[in-house]
Amino acid sequence: QPSNFQEGSDVLLKRGECRAKGGAPGFKVAILGAAGGIGQSLSLLMKMNPLVSVLHLYDVVNTPGVTADVSHMDTGAVVRGFLGQQQLESALTGMDLVIIPAGVPRKPGMTRDDLFKINAGIVRTLSEGIAKCCPNAIVNLISNPVNSTVAIAAEVFKKAGTYDPKRLLGVTTLDVVRANTFVAEILGVDPREVDVPVVGGHAGVTILPLLSQVKPPSSFTAEETEYLTNRIQNGGTEVVEAKAGAGSATLSMAYAAAKFAGACLRGLKGEAGVVECAFADSQVTELPFFATKVRLGRAGAEEVYQLGPLNEYERIGLEKAKRELAGSIQKGVEFIRK
């Protein structure tokens, strides 16, 4: 096995910790599902983040190769690999942030909910490990269906007595990334100058872009609003169909996950004004979880923002989103309670 795999990395780990103390503050980050389509690119991007001092790569297959490969990058983070469930606890112990892209992706013709059967059990097992080994870590949950898997993780944490609503975040950043891109195309501007709040959840009609709140302030015709809303809601399906059976979004998702995880780390470091959309424990609607903008700080999602003023089109969309979300959340809750 490569020297940075498992026990062999202790020397490197100590050096890594020294380096982190002497330089920028470093956080310990684990990626669960690190050998997958999202996981590999995300491992690369997190290895490039200067706020990461230690990077643990966990999967049930192929982590030795991914770990050896990523560890050769001349960036600060020390990389360690963990293979199989018997190494899950070592992978998680001491982590500040755990990112979860583990689980099966969609094929054409499937909904995200069709993944529940397999991914619900995976998320349960991984959440049990987190509750035991790093109950104070911030969790970024990517595995679909996010509208249900966040509820599953929350129930596992509640059962273990470790649930902190501020620290469990479903990752919806890809919806915002897509919305910024598609809106920028219509406006003819650089997507980096655009900010579209996307609220609700992460599947079909539960993905609700608030085009009336786009920054910079912009107006859209009814036709543009319809086109943009449909394209943002079906962005995942667009990729699934284009990949024609070879999976779903991995590269844009790794980018989005790295952006969101980077924001969580900047919040943990104490940076002010770090705001991202996320699917979190929420009192914004009558539902227990809902995606809105949240302010990320040392404690996780320290503030959950209200929706702000909605137009008629968005109010109708919100009612549709809530109806579907309620069932998906309940399905996740029942998976653990029953």
DSSP tag of 114: G
To the nearest whole angstrom, how small is the minimum distance from the Cβ of residue 114 to ligand NAD?
A: 10
Strand partners for 275: 295
Among 28, 106, 167, 322, binds ligand LMR (CB under 6 A): 106
Burial category of 272 from C-beta neighbours within 10 Å (exposed 0-12, middle 13-18, buried 19 and up): exposed
Among 112, 167, 231, 293, binds ligand LMR (CB under 6 A): 112
Number of residues that bind ligand NAD (CB under 6 A): 33
Can residue 239 be called a binding residue for ligand LMR (CB under 6 A)? Answer: yes
Among 120, 133, 151, 240, binds ligand LMR (CB under 6 A): 240
Task: Give the residue closest to ligand NAD by C-beta.
Answer: 36
In the complex with ligand NAD, the residue whose CB is nearer, 20 or 240, is 240
Burial category of 241 from C-beta neighbours within 10 Å (exposed 0-12, middle 13-18, buried 19 and up): middle
Rounded Cα distance, 254 and 231, in Å = 20
To the nearest whole angstrom, how small is the minimum distance from the Cβ of residue 106 to ligand LMR?
A: 4
Residues 28 and 133: beta-carbon distance below 8 Å:
no
Residues 171 and 278: beta-carbon distance below 8 Å:
yes
Q: Write out the catalytic residue numbers.
A: 202
Which of 93, 43, 38 is closest to 64 using CA atoms?
43
Contact region with ligand LMR (CB under 6 A), list: 23-31, 233-241, 290-298, 307-315? 233-241
Can residue 123 be called a binding residue for ligand LMR (CB under 6 A)? Answer: no
Q: Which does 284 bind (CB under 5 to 8 A by kind): ligand LMR, ligand NAD, none?
A: none
- Side chain identity at residue 25, one-letter code: P
Q: Which residues contact 170 (CB under 8 A, 6 or more apart)?
A: 141, 146, 147, 149, 150, 201, 202, 278, 279, 280, 289, 291
Which residues ranging from 57 to 86 are in contact with ligand NAD (CB under 6 A)? 59-61
- Binding site residues, ligand NAD, CB under 6 A: 32-33, 35-39, 59-61, 101-106, 115, 119, 122, 125-126, 142-144, 146, 171, 174, 202, 247-250, 253
- Binding site residues, ligand LMR, CB under 6 A: 105-106, 112, 144, 174, 202, 235-236, 239-240, 248-249
